[in-house]
Amino acid sequence: MKEISDLNLPDDVKYTKDHEWAKLDSDIVTIGINDYAQDQLGEIVFVELPEVGDTFSEGDEFGSVESVKAVSEMYIPISGEIVGINEALEDAPELVNESCYDNGWIIKVKPDDVAQLDNLMDKPAYLDMLKG
């Protein structure tokens, strides 16, 4: 497993305490799991996705990622409606390992209130949390 200093943590996304990332593009938020989470899980074999049109409140479980011997639930950091899911993950869950911020994104959400994103951590705050 990677040392904290080796983690790929981009500056232009926000982080949750459960190791998801979220990024606002115009009015849509893209969400995935970050490098720390994918590294901890190891080789991902399945991603359970919600359906487009589902609505969630901040903190709800919206899916899970699985390795051979572990399951990790994913929690949505912002209330809203699912407007996109990464269907490529159905056949290629390894995209989450290979490219967790790009091809391995998980959902796109139309948020009820964009301001909820302000509650998330930036990179330095997230790093502080990891270092405990």
Partner 1 sequence: MRYLPHTKEDIEDMLKVTGQSSLEDLFNCIPDNLKTKKSMDIPQSLSEWELNVHMEELASSNIACKEYKCFIGAGSYDHYIPAIIPYLISRSEFMTAYTPYQPEVSQGTLQGIYEFQTMVTELLGMDVATASHYDCGTALAEAALIALRKNRKANKIAVSSLVHPSHRQIIHTYINPAGYEIIEIPYTKDGLTDVGALEDMDDIAGIAVQSPNFFGNIEDLKAFKDMADTKKILLIASFTEALAFGLLKNPGSFGADLVAGEGQSLGISKSFGGPGLGLLAGTKQQMRNLPGRFIGKTSDTNGDEGFVLTLATREQHIRREKASSNICSNNGLNAMTAAIYLATVGKIGIREIAQQNHDKAVYLKISLENSSFESAFDVPFFNEFVLKAPAGFEQKRASLVNDKCTFAGMNLEPFYPELKQHYLFCATETLSKEDIDQLAKEVQ
Partner 2 sequence: MNQQSGTSGLIFNEPLLWDKSCKGRCAMSLPRQDVDRAELDESLTGDAPELPQLSELDVARHYTRLSQWNFGVDSGMYPLGSCTMKYNPKTNEVQAARQGFAGAHPLVGDEFSQGALKLVFNLEQYLAAITGFDAVTLQPAAGAHGELAGMLIIYAYHAKSGKQRSKIIIPDTAHGTNPASASLCGYESINIQSGENGILEPEAVAAVMDEDTAGIMVTNPNTLGLFESNIKEIADIVHSKGGLVYGDGANMNAIMGVVKPGELGIDVLHLNLHKTFSTPHGGGGPGAGPVAVVKSLEPFLPIPRVVKNLDSYKFVTDYPDTIGRLHTFYGHFGVLIKAYSYILSMGAKGLSDASKLAVLNANYVKESLKGTLNLPYDLPCMHECVFNDEFQKKDHITTMDMAKRLLDYGFHPPTIYFPLVVEGAFMVEPTETESKEDIDQFINAVKAIAKEARENPEKLKKAPLLTKVTRLDEVAAARKPCLRG
Q: Which residues bind partner 2 (CB under 8 A)?
A: 43, 45-46, 66, 68, 93-94
> Residue 45 Cβ, how far from partner 1 at the closest point, in Å?
8
Can you tell me the distance from the alpha carbon of 84 to that of 69, in angstroms, rounded to the nearest whole number? 28
Applying CB under 8 A, does 4 fall inside the site for partner 1?
no
Contact criterion met (CB below 8 Å) for 82 and 50:
yes
Furthest-apart CA atoms within the chain: distance in Å: 38
Q: CB under 8 A: which stretch of 14-22, 32-40, 64-72, 89-97 binds partner 1?
A: 64-72
Look at residue 70 and give the partner it binds from partner 1, partner 2, none, a contact being a CB closer than 5 to 8 Å depending on partner kind: partner 1
Which residues make up the interface to partner 1 (CB under 8 A)? 46, 48, 66-71
